Amino acid sequence: MSEYIFKLPDLGEGTVESEIAEWFIAVGDQVNEEDVVGTMMTDKAAVELSSPVSGKVVKLAGEPGDIVAVGAPLVVFETDAAPPAAPEPAPAAKDAGAATKQARPEQPAPAAEAEPAPQPHAATLDRKRVMTSPAIRRRAKELGVDLAAVPGSGPGGRITRTDFDRYIRRQAVAGIAPQAPSAAAPAATTTEVKVIGLRRIIAERMAAAKREIPHFAYVEEIDITELEALRKHLNGKRADPSERLTLLPFLGLALIRALRDFPQCNTTYDKERNVLLRHGAVHLGIATQTPDGLKVPVVRNAHALSMDALVSEIRRVSQAAKDNSAKKEELSGSTITITSLGKLGGIVSTPVINQPEVAIIGVNRAVERPVVVNGQVAVRLMMNLSSSFDHRFVDGYDAAAMIQSIKEMLEHPATIFLPQ
């Protein structure tokens, strides 16, 4: 028997440390090579790590929420096989020694002679081989679902959120819907919830955005009666309900056209160099609520897309963010963001700018209201746009003028499609 130390590999993009998001193994488990051992959270995404060897888990680096430096021990295995040659560890992060409960590098040493240890109470589970997201693994655990029984349609058989939901529905129809273990009514106690993983990253970014950016809010009401009529007309020609249009792609097209006249809003701020980068291309961020929290997947080169292509790409990147199949590059690099709470949109909101951008466009709920049109009271479908701008780089006049340009296009939707 020998001891093999699996060290945290370089997860790319200059990562020097990573947070433990979730373990799929425990001390004493018998693990096969390539079994998924856990998930590490970087600033961009959750990354699943697989075991490089087969063996028994004898030590873990820490608990979810703890920080581990690249090159530091992550899992210690007791193994019979000769371990593969480990690459030289990457330099540890500055101040890595101060990271919470961070494990310290140890030299591998032969295990002491002892009686053969009994096998763990459970053999290696097939579910460790299943490719899926941490959110789906949690749902499966809560519902008592064996993921090995769920067919996956993603790359390499990965189980997507759609796959998992479809499986649950089929089980329900068959009368064998899985149920979470029964429990007594919860006591009126206080529960501690660690701020880790994506929630920690969201908290840090929101705090930094509000601390560093002087937000300028601008709210305008828009009569979208004609736009809604056009949307319903176009949807009437679409046989597939999943392909039907929402208001979002119309807003996206109007925003793209407006940015040609207001390039200062299609800008990102490089704080390190104190430089504004005005982008010719529009990389549209779509704020998306997911089971893991708020993410902003990106529609690349949205300015070059037709209506149908924009609709398809918004749907694709949003779904990828929800089921954790989005690639790292699909979750960064936006130049301006649209955010919407849908039916929960309320009357007005004050969206937080997605750094390093300088503007964000927020959509509120559409409601029918009596308004005066040409001296007569009429029922019109009204919707507010609640937007925020970085007042350091976008003047109030320019912000208002851009929203007015979007308002004009949405109230006269034919103009969205006119050549420019």
Which of 66, 279, 391, 398 is the catalytic position?
Answer: 391
Which of 126, 270, 308, 395 is the catalytic position?
Answer: 395
Residue 208 CA to its chain's centroid (Å)? 18
> Is residue 395 flagged as an active site residue?
yes
C-alpha dist (Å) from residue 245 to 227, 231, 249, 338, 359: 11, 7, 7, 16, 25
Contact 133, 323 (CB under 8 A): yes
> Is residue 279 flagged as an active site residue?
no
Catalytic residue list: 391, 395
